[in-house]
Amino acid sequence: MHSARSPPKGAHRTYGLHTTKEKVGFCPPSKTTENLLLTLCKEIKMMRMKQLCCTAILVPLVGQAAPVAELATKKALTLEVAKQIAAASGRFARKNQWNVVIAIVDDGGHLVYFERMDRVQTGSIQVAIQKAKTAAAFKRPTKVFEEAVAEGRTVLLGLPGGMPFEGGVPITVKGQVIGAVGVSGVTAQQDGMIAQAGVDAMPKILGR
C-alpha cells in the first residue's frame, strides 16, 4: 500500500506526456492580444452605435400612420328635387302654351325624371334626354355648342355624346354640377328658356 505524499518542493507533476509546474502564476497578455481586445471593443462599440441609430430612425417611422385617404363629399340630385325642377319648367312652358318634353338627369347623365306633355312630337323624347346628358357631361349649357357650330366649328358635330342644340342646362349647387335639365318640343331658343326656368327655381326649391 502506498501512502499519499505531497511531492517535494519544486517537483513537477506529470499527466501523460505533459508536465506542468505546481505553482502557476499570472501571465500578462501580450501586445498582440491587447491590440485584438482593443479592436474587438471598438467593433462592439460601433455595432451598438449603429443599433442606436437604426432605432432612432425606425421608431418615428413605426409611430407614423399611413396617409389616410378620404372620399369626396358631393351633393346628389334627388327625385323630389328633380320633380320640382320639372314642375317649374312645366309652369313656364304652359304659361307660354308650349308643349314640350322635359328630362332631368343626375351628374352621371342617368335619367331621374321625365315628363312628356300632350301632343308633343315623339322625336323630342330622345332629343330632350340627350340635351340633358350633354349639359351634365360637359358641365355647360348646350347653347355653347350650338353657337360654336354656328360660328364654323363644325368639328363639334362629331363630339361623342354631344347634342349641339340649345335646350340643355346644367343644375349647379355651390359650383358643383349635380345634374341637368333637357327640353325639346319648340324652337331651340324656347327650349333653352324652359330649361333655364327650372334651374332658376333651385334657390326656392332648396329654401334659400
Q: Do the beta carbons of residue 172 and residue 200 sit within 8 Å?
A: no
Note down the domain range covering 89: 79-205
Same domain for 140 and 98: yes
Same domain for 84 and 63: no
**Grid cell locating 62:** 413605426
Query: Residue 152 — φ and ψ, nearest 5°?
Result: 115, -5
Dist. CA 143–CA 127, nearest whole Å: 14
Query: What confidence score (pLDDT) does residue 128 get?
Result: 98
Same domain for 183 and 85: yes
Dist. CA 100–CA 109, nearest whole Å: 20
Same domain for 62 and 153: no
**Grid cell locating 99:** 308643349
Query: What confidence score (pLDDT) does residue 158 get?
Result: 87
- The tens place of each residue's pLDDT in the chain, 208 residues long, gives 445 455 555 544 544 444 444 444 545 656 676 676 677 777 777 777 777 666 656 555 555 667 889 998 889 999 999 999 999 999 999 999 999 999 999 999 999 999 999 999 999 999 999 999 999 999 999 999 999 999 999 888 888 889 999 999 999 999 999 999 999 999 999 999 999 999 999 999 999 7
Same domain for 90 and 128: yes
Same domain for 195 and 92: yes
Residue type, 138: F
Task: For 102-118, give the DSSP string.
Answer: EEEEETTS-EEEEEE-T
CATH code: domain of residue 143: 3.30.450.150
DSSP-assigned beta bridge partners for residue 170: 180
Task: For the chain, give the DSSP string.
Answer: -PPP-PPPTT-EEEETTEEEESS----PPPHHHHHHHHHHHHHHHHHHHHHHHHHHHHHHHHHSPPPPP---------HHHHHHHHHHHHHHHHHTT---EEEEEETTS-EEEEEE-TT--THHHHHHHHHHHHHHHHTS-THHHHHHHHTT-GGGGG-TT---SS-EEEEEETTEEEEEEEEESS-HHHHHHHHHHHHHTHHHHTT-
Same domain for 180 and 151: yes
Say how many domains are in the chain.
2
Same domain for 189 and 94: yes
